[in-house]
Amino acid sequence: MSSPARAHDALVTLTSLTFDWPDGTRALDDVSGSFGHGRTGLVGRNGSGKTTLLRLVTGELTPTSGSIHVSGTVATLPQQLGLDTDRTVAEALGIAPVLAAIHAIEGGSLAQADFDTVEDRWGIEAEALATLATLGLEADADADLLDRPLGTLSGGEVVTVGLAALQLQRADVALLDEPTNNLDRSARARLVAAIDAWPAQRSLVVISHDTELLEHVERIVEVHGHELRGFDGAWSVYRAAIEAEQQAAADAVRSAEQDVRRQRRDRIEAEVKLAGRRRIAERDYANKRAPRIVMKTWGMQAEQAAAKHRHLHDDRLDRATEALTDAESRVREDRSVRIELPATRVPAGRTVLELAAGADTFVVRGPERIALTGDNGSGKTTLLREVLGLPTAVPPVARLVRRIDEVGHLPQRIELDGELTVLESVRAAAPSATPQEVRASLARFLFRGALAEREVAGLSGGERFRVALARVLLADPAPQLVVLDEPTNSLDVDSVDQLVDALTAYEGALLVVSHDEDFLGRIGITRRWQVVDAGLVEAPPAPPAP
């Protein structure tokens, strides 16, 4: 059930919170709401201010106006934890000073500062290793895990360290920002298990667009306008509530439109009647049907009645128009991508791609949709570079034998020329298409009218993604094989929906690296290849969700 995020038992309360960046750009505008105990998923479109909100809660940023009240301590798992590659695991866990003090005391130190640092945490090393092991990261027999630099860990292992740090800190409020980005399947499963086991007396707030993960929270809070809207239940409950709300809003719009049309029709009919009466009165006046003074009195009374009649109908029309505006304001913008891509069609028997891995051959024929899976660091991206004919730093797990020429590529990192307009950027990939043809296609990618003339540098992340997607799918020649590397990373739910819309319309072959099983299911994966033990194998159907 939807409501403003409730202040009851709140650990974090926001009141009329506004934040402006130094250049004057407003990130949050008069937002109010709260976060309580238990597991909460924080959702909203890219650019809605979710990460900014968390940075305000931690105190990293200061509100322009309004207030934040936090009951207890706050800890966070930032998106960029893995970039600080020189930090050791112990430093990332926040226990390095305690370990150093313990080692100093064991070496004979009697300094009071060392004892003050340790306090009662003499078993912190064992506790830290046990916490990491519970989350799936165990120390090697020949290496000290706590001394390892983060740069030697995989992305999933870094997130595991971050989760362990949150648990060791025992903070009252824990904040996770897009924790599943770049995680492989096993790391995602460990993350979900950690979230499921989160203590109910503390607050866990997770920013995520990962719908699988959001099924494991107890409440969804949406950054929506000037408030945080709360929905009791997991992601599926939230989506059902939004869909029901939008259906009701659409029904209200249709009803209000009918009322506006009815009031306009009544207003016109009233004017016609008044005009008829006026003509009769003018004829009577000309024929001197009654004394002039009497007829003037009749005329004044008629005008007064007519004015009152007009005011009545105008008032009804104004109320109907206001009701329509209010109903329309509750309908969210249709963000669906609706396109047709017949030029991408591939005949069922055509060989699109052939790879050789030792004695094994892997062939893609016709419009097959292949998911390429495997642990982080297993060589999936290297194999994609081999498929695309790009140089590789290490040998790929399979070699390219042959491949069609009409290939599109949507990489993890979107790079576009910011000085070009949307129209110019897409035309560069389809030079034979006329500006009118490209405009018509861009409208289906939600770049309608003047939006096609905006410079790419001024677009939001979701808009830039749609430009990149349009460049791939509208290219000339049309792609009959599209290669995608973790395409849903950092995308909001709307953008993922738009990608699914576009790939549903695409009629060629797909080769997709993704750990997002919900996404893979929605785009109709037909086969799976898995990179395992430095080799490529045909994999079984989708594993069950964690």
Confidence bin at 376 (pLDDT 50/70/90): confident
**Total residues belonging to the chain:** 546
Residue 339, pLDDT > 90, answer no
Return the higher-pLDDT residue of 42 and 297: 42
Q: Is-contact 182 375, C-beta < 8 A?
A: no
List the 399-403 sheet strands across, edge first.
360-365, 351-357, 399-403
pLDDT in tens, 199-214: 888 899 999 888 889 9
pLDDT in tens, 409-445: 998 888 899 999 999 999 999 999 999 999 999 998 9
Residue 333, pLDDT > 90, answer no
Confidence bin at 519 (pLDDT 50/70/90): very high
Confidence bin at 390 (pLDDT 50/70/90): very high
Query: What is the model's pTM?
Result: 0.69
The dihedral formed by the CA atoms of 141, 147, 150 and 151, expressed in degrees to the nearest 10? -80
Q: Check residue 421 and report its DSSP letter.
A: B
Instruction: Residue 354: name the closest of 536, 531, 525 by CA.
Output: 536
Residue type, 160: T
- SS3 letters across 59-71: CCCCCCEEEEEEC
In this predicted structure, which of 317-326, 349-358, 467-476 has the lowest mean pLDDT? 317-326
Residue 513, pLDDT > 70, answer yes
Most confident segment among 158-167, 183-192, 197-206, 283-292:
197-206
Confidence bin at 142 (pLDDT 50/70/90): very low
Residue 472, pLDDT > 70, answer yes
What SS3 class is residue 240?
helix
Q: Is-contact 204 38, C-beta < 8 A?
A: yes
Q: Is-contact 504 523, C-beta < 8 A?
A: yes
Distances (CA, A) of 494 to 53, 80, 212: 20, 23, 15
What SS3 class is residue 17?
strand
Distances (CA, A) of 316 to 263, 275, 306, 321: 7, 20, 15, 9
Element spanning 276, H or E = helix 235-286
In this predicted structure, which of 18-32, 270-284, 316-330 has the lowest mean pLDDT? 270-284
Paired with 511 in beta bridges are 370, 483
Question: How much is the pLDDT for 260?
Answer: 79
Q: Is-contact 446 335, C-beta < 8 A?
A: yes
Q: Is-contact 481 507, C-beta < 8 A?
A: no
Question: How much is the pLDDT for 277?
Answer: 57
Question: How much is the pLDDT for 510?
Answer: 96
Residue 224, pLDDT > 90, answer no
